[in-house]
Amino acid sequence: MALKFAEQTDTTIALHVVTPDTLEADLGDLDDKAQSWIRAQGFQAGLGQVVTVPDDAGGIAIALAGYGTADARKRGRFHLAMAAAKLPAGTYRIAGGLDAEELEEAALGWLLASYRFDRYKAASAQKALLVAPDGIDARRLETIADGEALTRNLINTPASDMGPQELEDAARDLAQQHGAAISVISGDDLLDLNYPMIHTVGRASQRAPRLIDMTWGDSGPLLTLVGKGVCFDTGGLNIKPGGSMGLMKKDMGGAATVLGLAHMIMGLNVPLRLRILVPAVENSIDGNAFRPQDVLTSRKGLTVEINNTDAEGRLVLADALALADEGEPALIISMATLTGAARVAVGPDLAPFYTDYDSHAAALTTAAADVADPVWRMPFHDPYEGMIEPDVADLDNAPSGGMAGSITAALFLRRFVDKAPYMHFDIYGWQPSAKPARPKGGVGMGARAVLAALPDLLDL
């Protein structure tokens, strides 16, 4: 679905954004009748409060949205999206009360709040529409919102309709939309072309594993995005319990996020060369499934002892990262719904990321705050390297003990990148309960922060 701003009309309603500190001054600009009406409604400009003032014909003359106190706003983001959910049907224009930075976040949040996943059931339409505020780049925000909608749609689609082939189809549609080139290696060709771990993880499924490779742009630094595309994860022979398997349609959230980010980059014509690599598999159970204690040889030549078949995401990413590194890009970024440990550490709202470059971490952290896409730096802690080194192979895909699970997974992935600067995101990709601009379900994490940081990350 395209997330767009509304057109200005003669019936557009002025929406005044008000804080408790500015309430009296703002009311003083209105006539006595309007002031009395607003006070009678108990409007105190609290965060998320709304009030509409009727006109003489029974319509809406103006509307007010409470923006709360600064302390209240620290506890969330996309605050005006709360008003979008509560206002009566109509087309609104923000008439004041926000500075330039707040205005951009408010406008984007309103767009994101209009997202509906309606593939299987008719969803209610967004009632309150917003005219693009003056001074913002409306096309840029619409492109970013559409990239986020793509990510959400891909994650929300159940595995019955989003297997490796369907993920490839989505990538092909995106490539066609932006004039990108795309190639796909699937099935036993993965073995012939030296992607053994992607093949091994996906071979037990009747839906063939594959590696999707998309390229775009002919000048500028090369950015390679690698997204985990495990379209469903049973856990393999180390089968997950039912409660843990229930959300595994989202285990391709890394792939969905990099495709959404790719849409933003290409749609905004960012001056770089882009490569997207998605190892797309289904981790299933069959007689030819890979087993605990198997030792696999990766594309890079490193051997990996399998101590849990449910730690499969790092295996498919490893072959893709080795390929990415062969191209010697200016930066490699991987995104994956990789570990439960990351969720225990930072919860569902923060996107944990790893990098060895302090300048990259600083740029990303600053950009994330600017665009309301929170991230948190985690350490590539070298003393833990021994935890991923078993006796019988170069690497262990699932170290025993359960400690530092996200860090050891990140260290595992780093072993497959030698030449390029590397950044890894261990994301959740799911909104467990509805929040402003983020309905329950699939959600992008870190993509907007990366987009905003690209000028500093790549010296654009």
Same domain, 356 and 419: yes
Is 96 part of a structural domain of the chain? yes
What string of H, E and C letters represents the secondary structure of 114-151? CCCCCCCCCCCCCCEEEECCCCCCHHHHHHHHHHHHHH
Active site residues: 240, 314
Picking from 136, 170, 203, the residue at the C-terminal end of a domain is 136
Same domain, 124 and 192: no
- Average pLDDT value for residue range 10-30: 94
User: CB within 8 A of 49, min separation 6: which ones?
Assistant: 43, 65, 66
Is 8 part of a structural domain of the chain? no
Is 81 part of a structural domain of the chain? yes
For residue 327, what are the CA distances in angstroms to 102, 141, 354, 418? Answer: 40, 32, 21, 11
Binning pLDDT at 50, 70 and 90, where does residue 30 land? Answer: very high
Of 259, 70, 306, 308, the closest CA to residue 148 belongs to 259
Instruction: Count CA atoms closer than 13 A to 10's CA, side-chain side.
Output: 0
Picking from 136, 167, 198, the residue at the C-terminal end of a domain is 136
Same domain, 125 and 179: no
Q: How confident is the model over 151-178, as pLDDT tens digits? A: 999 999 999 999 999 999 999 999 999 9
Rounded to 10°, the helix 253-267/138-156 angle is 160
Same domain, 117 and 185: no
Binning pLDDT at 50, 70 and 90, where does residue 1 land? Answer: low
The predicted pLDDT at position 227 comes to: 98
Residue 275 has pLDDT above 80, yes or no: yes
Query: Domain with 201 in it: what CATH number?
Result: 3.40.630.10
Is 7 part of a structural domain of the chain? no
pTM of the model: 0.97
Picking from 101, 120, 136, the residue at the C-terminal end of a domain is 136
Supply 158's token pair: 């159940």
Is 162 part of a structural domain of the chain? yes
Is 397 part of a structural domain of the chain? yes
Same domain, 173 and 66: no
Same domain, 153 and 116: no
Q: Decide: 320 and 209 in contact? Cβ < 8 Å.
A: no
Supply 92's token pair: 């609104």
Instruction: Count CA atoms closer than 13 A to 12's CA, side-chain side.
Output: 18
Q: Domain total for the chain?
A: 2
Query: Rg (Cα) of the chain, in Å, rounded?
Result: 24
Same domain, 45 and 189: no
Same domain, 168 and 85: no
Same domain, 101 and 216: no
Is 236 part of a structural domain of the chain? yes
The predicted pLDDT at position 125 comes to: 78
The predicted pLDDT at position 402 comes to: 85
Q: Can you give the residue range of the structural domain that contains 204?
A: 144-457
Mean pLDDT estimate for the chain = 96
Q: How confident is the model over 312-367, as pLDDT tens digits? A: 999 999 999 999 999 999 999 999 999 999 999 999 999 999 999 999 999 999 99
Cα–Cα distance for residue pair 416/297, rounded to 1 Å: 12
DSSP three-state, residue 249: helix
Same domain, 110 and 237: no
Same domain, 337 and 379: yes
Query: Domain with 33 in it: what CATH number?
Result: 3.40.220.10
Is 314 part of a structural domain of the chain? yes
Residue 35 has pLDDT above 90, yes or no: yes
Same domain, 161 and 72: no
Q: How confident is the model over 118-144, as pLDDT tens digits? A: 999 988 877 899 999 999 999 999 999
